[in-house]
């Protein structure tokens, strides 16, 4: 498949498996439950679960829940839903880093006993100052040489809540002059008098990300701990813990380049800002790059998985993936799999003057031009129909092959009609067109002339009213958060949502939420997961028809 891009981690693991270096591949997807998952996370999910699937291994879902202040059960539930919606299932139960708090604490005591960790009384600001910079070495804390007994006692008192937040931390004793700042006595525990969504009020101290992640991997028997490039500099620390603690297995950290996409934010913090300030209608607003937003918009799991396959996995950072590629992925899925339908977005009434009042003819039309397994549609023609306003021009330019005064056009699946008269109201607005049908044109070309244009239409007698939500990019510029000092909110696209009242062919009356269609000549649409109900049809535009992705 030309759409499969290189994936260096897959290549590497295949070699290891073939050389017998690894028996069973175990990966994990480790979200922090502080927001909803976005398209960047999809890359990590497809990679981790995909590798486990491919090599007959396991992928764990582990919540990296070491910061209770920002985390919530609602995020945990949404993340589980999103992973399953994408079509993946974690091995065993959902896991939590907080499941390992007892073990981590025992390991912290172990480091203290070995003289490799100490309680520090410096304030967070002082610690930062003492730590030094890239060009200047760090200075040891005056508390660095406390005795093992004193450290054990203070750590225990930190744990039970004897000290205030920020008063003390536990640090590893590694190397204050290391060129890698992550090794300058990193923090292992902070005091936080916060209630935790899993462990309740049991703990008054919480382990840092660095002290938690690798050891959790080791406890779970993870073989390949895959993360984004920001963690490359943390790898020596990841390995230091594994070397200095009696861990049951030794995982390996591998970094890859995160996904960045134009017109899109992939930071939970910034997405949360959009939600909290009402710039969008929740985390699952169809304009959001969250998986729940994309689901609501109408993306299929297959299209997101295909997109993740297309972008590949490399260590080359800095690239910006074109959102046109994502649009290409959903379009090509729906081109093959979405039934067709006719829907008029901006209705203009057409009266077929040479057709009797009670006229009705019903066409049996294929559900999809290339699929015989899809049910056919019944399309009635009556004296009054709707066409799209865009398909008529009173004074058309030369190459306008749609309807105009005195011109002919074919109604899709039906006859050729001619526009004889334009009916206007007092203010000069066009209210309706009077047209006549050429009854000798059903399924055949008219005599002696060519009619190039074909337009979609809906019977005014039987068409069903629909609300159409036309979505576009949420941001107007390719990199809304490029300028760190400026406000990315200034780049919001004021036309990211346009709502229209349209009319759809009668068969759509029974539409089930989340079903997808190609509205012919218009675009791909999905019945809104929540708002679409009997008698109130609401369709979201997923994407237009025209593919702009250049392979």
Annotated binding site for ATP: 32-34, 38-44, 228, 258-259
Determine, following the binding rule CB under 6 A, whether residue 44 of this chain makes contact with ligand ATP: yes
CA–CA gap between residue 58 and residue 196 (Å, rounded): 28
CA–CA gap between residue 289 and residue 302 (Å, rounded): 16
Instruction: Give the active site residue among 171, 268, 305, 469.
Output: 268
> What is the number of the residue whose Cβ is closest to ligand ATP?
40
Determine, following the binding rule CB under 6 A, whether residue 455 of this chain makes contact with ligand ATP: no
Instruction: Give the active site residue among 10, 14, 16, 32.
Output: 32
Helix or strand (DSSP H, E) at 11: helix 8-18
Closest CB to ligand ATP among residues 40, 301: 40
Q: What is the DSSP string of 64-132?
A: ----GGG--HHHHHHHHHHHHHTT---SSS-EEGGGGHHHHHHHHHHHHHTT-EEEE---HHHHHHHH-
The interface region with ligand ATP, picked from 25-33, 49-57, 69-77, 380-388 by CB under 6 A, is 25-33
Q: Which residue in the set 25, 242, 259, 326 belongs to the binding site for ligand ATP (CB under 6 A)?
A: 259
Closest CB to ligand ATP among residues 480, 502: 480
Determine, following the binding rule CB under 6 A, whether residue 258 of this chain makes contact with ligand ATP: yes
Q: Which residue in the set 32, 81, 121, 335 belongs to the binding site for ligand ATP (CB under 6 A)?
A: 32
E strands within 192-327?
205-207, 224-228, 252-256
Q: Which residue in the set 13, 26, 27, 30 belongs to the binding site for ligand ATP (CB under 6 A)?
A: 30
Q: Specify binding-site residues for L-glutamine.
A: 64, 209
Which residue's structure tokens are 């260096």? 8
> End-to-end distance of the chain based on CA atoms, in angstroms?
13
Which residues, 6 or more positions from 129, have their beta carbon under 8 angstroms from its beta carbon?
A: none
CA–CA gap between residue 220 and residue 35 (Å, rounded): 24
Cα distances (angstroms) measured from residue 86 to each of 51, 72, 301:
15, 22, 5
Determine, following the binding rule CB under 6 A, whether residue 227 of this chain makes contact with ligand ATP: yes
On the CB side of 516, CA atoms within 13 Å amount to: 20
The interface region with ligand ATP, picked from 36-44, 138-146, 215-223, 378-386 by CB under 6 A, is 36-44
The interface region with ligand ATP, picked from 114-122, 159-167, 266-274, 298-306 by CB under 6 A, is 266-274
268 is catalytic: yes
Closest CB to ligand ATP among residues 177, 267: 267
Site string for ligand ATP, 398-427 (x = CB under 6 A): ------------------------------
> With the C-alpha atoms ordered 14, 19, 20, 21, is the resulting torsion angle positive or negative?
negative
Which residues, 6 or more positions from 176, have their beta carbon under 8 angstroms from its beta carbon?
A: 130, 131, 132, 137, 138, 139, 140, 184, 185
Q: Which residue in the set 40, 68, 301, 463 belongs to the binding site for ligand ATP (CB under 6 A)?
A: 40
Question: 232-253 b/e with 16+ CB inside 10 Å = b?
Answer: eebbebbebbbebbebeeebbb
146 is catalytic: no
Q: For the chain, what's the residue count? A: 551
Closest CB to ligand ATP among residues 142, 319: 319
Determine, following the binding rule CB under 6 A, whether residue 267 of this chain makes contact with ligand ATP: yes
Determine, following the binding rule CB under 6 A, whether residue 266 of this chain makes contact with ligand ATP: yes
Determine, following the binding rule CB under 6 A, whether residue 481 of this chain makes contact with ligand ATP: no
Site string for ligand ATP, 62-91 (x = CB under 6 A): --x---------------------------
Interface with ligand ATP: number of residues (CB under 6 A): 16
Determine, following the binding rule CB under 6 A, whether residue 304 of this chain makes contact with ligand ATP: no
Closest C-alpha to 131, from 187, 184, 208, 190? 184
Query: In whole angstroms, how close is the CB of 28 to ligand ATP at the nearest point?
Result: 9
389 is catalytic: no
> With the C-alpha atoms ordered 151, 157, 158, 159, is the resulting torsion angle positive or negative?
positive
Can you read off the two tokens belonging to residue 509?
């009356």
The interface region with ligand ATP, picked from 121-129, 267-275, 359-367, 423-431 by CB under 6 A, is 267-275
Closest CB to ligand ATP among residues 147, 267: 267
Which residue's structure tokens are 């093992």? 148
Instruction: Give the active site residue among 252, 258, 349, 366.
Output: 258
The interface region with ligand ATP, picked from 41-49, 374-382, 481-489, 543-551 by CB under 6 A, is 41-49
The interface region with ligand ATP, picked from 27-35, 180-188, 384-392, 520-528 by CB under 6 A, is 27-35
Note whether 219 and 242 are within 8 A (CB): no
Q: Which residue in the set 25, 26, 31, 306 belongs to the binding site for ligand ATP (CB under 6 A)?
A: 31
Which positions lie near ligand ATP, rule CB under 6 A?
30-32, 40-41, 43-44, 64, 227-228, 258-259, 266-269
- Positions marked active-site: 32, 258, 268
């Amino acid at each position: 498949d030309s759409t499969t891009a290189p994936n260096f981690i897959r290549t590497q693991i295949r070699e290891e498996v073939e050389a017998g270096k690894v028996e069973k591949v175990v990966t994990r997807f480790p979200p922090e439950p502080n927001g909803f998952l976005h398209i960047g996370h999809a890359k990590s999910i497809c990679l981790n679960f995909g590798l486990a699937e491919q090599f007959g291994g396991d992928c764990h879902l582990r919540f990296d829940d070491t910061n209770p202040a920002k985390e919530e059960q609602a995020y945990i539930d949404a993340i589980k839903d999103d992973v399953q919606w994408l079509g993946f299932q974690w091995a065993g139960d959902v896991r939590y880093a907080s499941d390992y708090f007892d073990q981590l604490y025992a390991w912290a005591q172990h480091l203290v006993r070995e003289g490799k960790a100490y309680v520090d009384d410096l304030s967070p600001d002082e610690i930062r100052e003492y730590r030094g910079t890239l060009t200047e070495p760090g200075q040891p804390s005056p508390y660095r040489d406390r005795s093992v007994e004193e450290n054990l006692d203070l750590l225990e008192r930190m744990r039970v809540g004897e000290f205030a937040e920020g008063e003390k931390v536990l640090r590893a004793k590694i190397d204050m002059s290391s060129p890698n700042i992550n090794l300058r006595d990193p923090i292992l525990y902070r005091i936080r008098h916060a209630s935790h969504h899993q462990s309740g009020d049991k703990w008054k101290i919480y382990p840092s990300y660095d002290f938690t992640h690798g050891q959790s991997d080791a406890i779970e028997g993870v073989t390949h701990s895959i993360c984004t490039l920001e963690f490359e500099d943390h790898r020596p620390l990841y390995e230091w813990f594994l070397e200095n603690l009696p861990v049951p297995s030794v995982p390996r950290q591998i970094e890859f380049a995160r996904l960045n996409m134009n017109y899109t934010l992939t930071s939970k913090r910034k997405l949360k800002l959009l939600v909290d300030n009402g710039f969008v209608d929740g985390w699952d607003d169809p304009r959001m790059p969250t998986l729940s937003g994309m689901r609501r918009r109408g993306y299929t799991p297959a299209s997101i998985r295909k997109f993740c396959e297309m972008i590949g996995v490399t260590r080359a950072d800095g690239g910006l993936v074109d959102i046109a590629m994502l649009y290409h992925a959903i379009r090509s899925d729906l081109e093959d799999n979405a039934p067709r339908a006719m829907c008029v977005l901006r209705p203009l009434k057409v009266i077929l003057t040479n057709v009797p009042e009670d006229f009705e003819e019903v066409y049996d039309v294929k559900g999809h031009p290339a699929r015989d397994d899809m049910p056919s549609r019944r399309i009635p023609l009556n004296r009054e129909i709707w066409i799209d306003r865009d398909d008529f021009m009173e004074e058309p330019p030369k190459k306008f092959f749609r309807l105009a005064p005195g011109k002919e056009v074919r109604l899709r699946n039906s006859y050729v009609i001619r526009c004889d008269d334009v009916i206007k109201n007092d203010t000069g607005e066009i209210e309706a067109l009077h047209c006549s049908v050429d009854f000798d044109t059903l399924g055949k070309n008219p005599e002696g002339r060519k009619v190039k244009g074909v337009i979609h239409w809906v019977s005014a007698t039987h068409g069903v009213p629909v609300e159409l939500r036309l979505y576009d990019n949420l941001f107007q510029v390719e990199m809304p958060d490029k300028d760190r000092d400026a406000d990315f909110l200034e780049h919001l696209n004021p036309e990211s949502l346009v709502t229209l009242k349209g009319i759809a062919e009668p068969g759509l009356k029974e539409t089930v939420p989340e079903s997808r269609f190609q509205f012919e000549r218009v675009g791909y649409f999905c019945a809104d997961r929540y708002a679409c109900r009997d008698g109130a049809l609401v369709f979201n535009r997923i994407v237009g028809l025209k593919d702009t992705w250049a392979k």
